[in-house]
Structure 1
Amino acid sequence: MGAGMTTIKDVAKAAGTSFKTVSRVINNDDNVTPETRKKVQDAIKALGYRPNTGARMIRSKKSGVIGLIADQAGMSVHSVNLIRGAQEEAWAQGKFLMVINIDDNHQNMDAAIDKLLERRVEGIIYAAMYHHAVNPSDELRAVPLVLANCYDERGELPCVVPDEYAAACDVTRHLINTGHRRIAYLNLNPRIIAGRERSRGFLDTIHQHPAVDGWTEKAISGEIGQEVSRVDEVMSNLLNSDRRPDAILCGKDEIAMSVYFSLVEHSLQPGHDMAVASFDNLEIIAESLKPGLSTMALPHYEMGQWAIRHLLSENLEISHERLSCDFIRRASA
């Protein structure tokens, strides 16, 4: 029987159940036994039945669609996992995720909002490329809204971000616990939250260990989006200094890659002559470098999951959730 001709009553007859039971299965109602659910699902598959989503939306007043506005996040390798986490969690909860990427000048923001509202989305996730404050429009604030990898500068919206401070404390403790006593931290741009929080976590942990000499180096300068790397200059100074470190912590994996190159140029082996650790776990770098780079993995996938769960919980209290980062230990530290 063709999918366009099949009705819910046909499915009920094939499964040996009532059409109300079929409806419960379609709507993911828990009040169905696993055995009956399987019979209905098998009948749906065998008959090629497709529920009338328009009718379901009218009855339930819910579209089954969640919007995700990716503020350049869709362009970032780091944030692909955030979208994947949201997609998989939405799918697991019987929802469809509609993703729209916004360019850096936000010219298509109004069109994106209009498209999502036309489809009567049940809520929207606003995901940013990097951890920073945002100020969503009043039009966006009028629908259930959760922020991911960013937070509301007004403090009025729930959000989920990485715990940058705790991540820095954890990786610094690892370097100390593995015997390193002179640690230089090549920081990110201090104008961004990750730069400030990672530096604070590093220094606070160093201060808890009086026997350890730790300090920060300005490896990145310039305005956000127009940064200039100073890694080669910083590394040359460090390696020719009386205060030569035995471990280097890098603000991100791209900095660590430059550190590897500098060490090799000075006939030093990363992980052997000098430990190197980092942040982000950008696998194309961390796994390709030899030896493999020890780094803190940011919880992008988990942030996507959390945002969907919080949105669908219909409990939109103003929560500023910080998720922990995992240390991925490889041979560099």
Structure 2
Amino acid sequence: MVKTLKDVAQVAGVSSATVSLVLNGHAHGRVSADLVERVEKAAQKLNYRPNLVARSLRTQESKTIGIISNDVATSPFAGAMLSGAQEVAWRNGWFLLLVNTNGDRVIEKAATRSLIQRNVDGVIYAAMFHQEIETPEYLNNQQVVLLDCIDSEKKLDSVVPDDYQGAVNAVEYLISQGHTKIAHISFDPTSIASQKRKRAYRDVLTKFGIEFREDYLIGDRDAIAQEGYLLTKKLLELDDRPTAIFTGNDRMAMGAYAAINESGLLIPSDISVIGFDNQTYLADALMPALTTIQLPHLEMGAWAVTRLLEVIDSQNSEPLKRMGQVIACPLVVRDSVAPPRK
């Protein structure tokens, strides 16, 4: 039989109000040390567990954060993102409830209402990749932080990766190794990530006085290995082929590897490849291991929860005053880049 607060009070020989003060951490200066010890021993003896649902109805605080994901829970980056969020939540005594909607607005709306009915204190709305969204109306009047996306009306706080600077890091590294014939395989031109990486590629070439070549910038479809393979084959067919390829992501780099190996060329002695994402179980598993740019999913997950907790409970949360955040994407050097052949 489930023990109640009244049962603890009866065993300890005190009032229910005293038990409530002790077990909710409000005994200091209000309850004697002797009574605190008696209540704690009684609760331990009865294996008492508080009714969190009843407590949330009474205090209007559930110590729970809802995460609504359009597809992030099934993406290869979910583990790091959720790990960062969970670590901060747990350290501060909060719990996470995750709902993955697979981009279905009907499911998303129902899930949001369900989380609100369960009295969650705030919501993190997470996207699979850096993108702009229209904030769902059913998130109005809720405490919300966006993760890996921004809202078109710029009303909500958000955290996203610095795709532009990450791409700058990639191209500048290739140049530092002596490359001037650098191609870029891009993807969906409507993607914010794609736009920023492409712009960075061109800006760095201009910065270093390297001629931009239209035939070295290709790709406007899906960011998948098959596209990387087909587009790399086109680059290798050029009379003056590039000595290095910067791919839009690691999956496209995997396709590039296949095309290069099929052509009889070697990575990195004949042609260098650098990716973007540092995708787990892919970038470090390729042969040779892929030099790439790290997407900061762990840090973004942690920042989103930290920011939301500050909004919910500014007096007892970790300080974080900045509105909005862009998190750095560092270079991860492995074995797929080398100076070009003389």
Distance 1:330 1:10 in 2: 65
**Structure 2 stretches lacking a partner, 5+ long:** 29-38, 315-319, 338-342
Cα offset, 1:144, TM superposition: 0.5
Structure-1 residue corresponding to 2:262? 265
Report the alpha carbon displacement of residue 91 of structure 1 after superposing the two structures with TM.
1.3
In 2, Cα distance between equivalents of 1:132 and 1:8: 52
Aligned twin of 2:178: 179
Given that 1:185 and 1:251 are in contact with CA atoms closer than 8 Å, whether structure 2 keeps it comes out as: yes
**1:36 corresponding residue in structure 2:** none
Aligned to 1:321: 325
The structure where strand makes up a greater share of residues is: 1
Displacement after TM superposition at 1:72 (Å): 1.4
Partner of 2:101: 102
User: Is 2:246 the partner of 1:245?
Assistant: no
* Residues 217 and 47 (structure 1), Cα distance of their counterparts in 2 relative to 1, 3 Å cut: farther
What's the TM-score once normalised by structure 2's chain length?
0.81
TM-score relative to the length of structure 1: 0.83
Alpha carbons of structure 1 residues 297 and 117: separation in structure 2 relative to 1, 3 Å: same
- Of the three residues 272, 292, 295, the one matched with 2:292 is 295
Contact map agreement 1:252 1:278 (CA 8 A) in 2: yes
- After TM superposition, give the deviation of residue 323 of structure 1 in Å: 0.7
The alpha-carbon distance between structure 1 residues 63 and 182, as it changes in their structure 2 partners (threshold 3 A), is same
CA distance in 2: counterparts of 1:167 and 1:44, whole angstroms: 53
Q: 2 CA distance for matches of 1:172 and 1:237?
A: 20
User: Which residue is 1:23 aligned to?
Assistant: 24
- Percent pairwise identity: 32
User: Where do 1:1-333 residues align within 5 Å?
Assistant: 4=3, 20=21, 22-24=23-25, 48-211=47-210, 216-221=216-221, 229-314=226-311, 319-333=323-337
Sort the Cα spacing of 1:169 and 1:10 in 2 relative to 1 into closer, same or farther, 3 A: farther
Distance 1:281 1:10 in 2: 58
CA RMSD of aligned residues (A): 3.3
- Following the alignment from structure 1 to structure 2, what is the Cα–Cα distance between the partners of residues 297 and 272? 24
Given that residues 186 and 218 in structure 1 are in contact (C-alpha distance below 8 angstroms), is that contact kept between their aligned partners in structure 2? yes
Paired AA for residue 146 in structure 1: V
Question: How many aligned positions are there?
Answer: 314
Query: What residue identity is the alignment partner of 2:324?
Result: H
Q: For each residue in 1:82-118, what CA deviation from the matched residue of structure 2 results, as whole angstroms up to 9, or x when unmatched?
A: 2222122211111110101112332212210121011
Deviates more, 1:284-293 or 1:82-91: 82-91
Give 3-state SS (helix, strand or coil) of 1:108's partner. helix
**Equivalent pair of 2:225/2:252 in contact (CA under 8 Å):** no
In the aligned structure 1, how far is the partner of 2:64 from the partner of 2:274?
41
- Closer, same or farther: CA 59–231 of 1 in aligned 2, 3 Å: closer
Q: Deviations over 1:254-313 (max 9, x none)?
A: 110111111111111112221110101112211211110011111111111111111110
Give the Cα separation in 2 of the matches to 1:268 and 1:44. 71
CA distance in 1, matches of 2:335, 2:267: 9
- Going from structure 1 to structure 2, the CA distance change for 1:219 and 1:211 (only over 3 Å counts) comes to closer
- Structure 1 or 2, whichever has the larger Rg, is 2
Deviations 1:221-264 (A, max 9, x none): 3xx79x89544443233223232211111101111011111111
> Following the alignment from structure 1 to structure 2, what is the Cα–Cα distance between the partners of residues 137 and 304?
21
Query: CA, structure 1 residues 302+242, in 2 after alignment: closer, same or farther (shift >3 Å)?
Result: same
Residues 157 and 318 in structure 1, CA contact (< 8 A), matched pair in contact too = no
| Post-superposition offset of 1:119 | 0.7
- SS for the counterpart of 1:67 is strand
Pick which of 131-140 and 257-266 moved more: 131-140
Q: Deviations over 1:139-176 (max 9, x none)?
A: 21211011111111111111111111010011111111
CA distance in 2, matches of 1:209, 1:75: 40
Contact 1:11–1:49 (Cα < 8 Å) also in 2:
no
Q: 1:159 to 1:210 in 2, by over 3 A?
A: same
The separation in 2 between residues aligned to 1:280 and 1:85, in whole angstroms, is 17
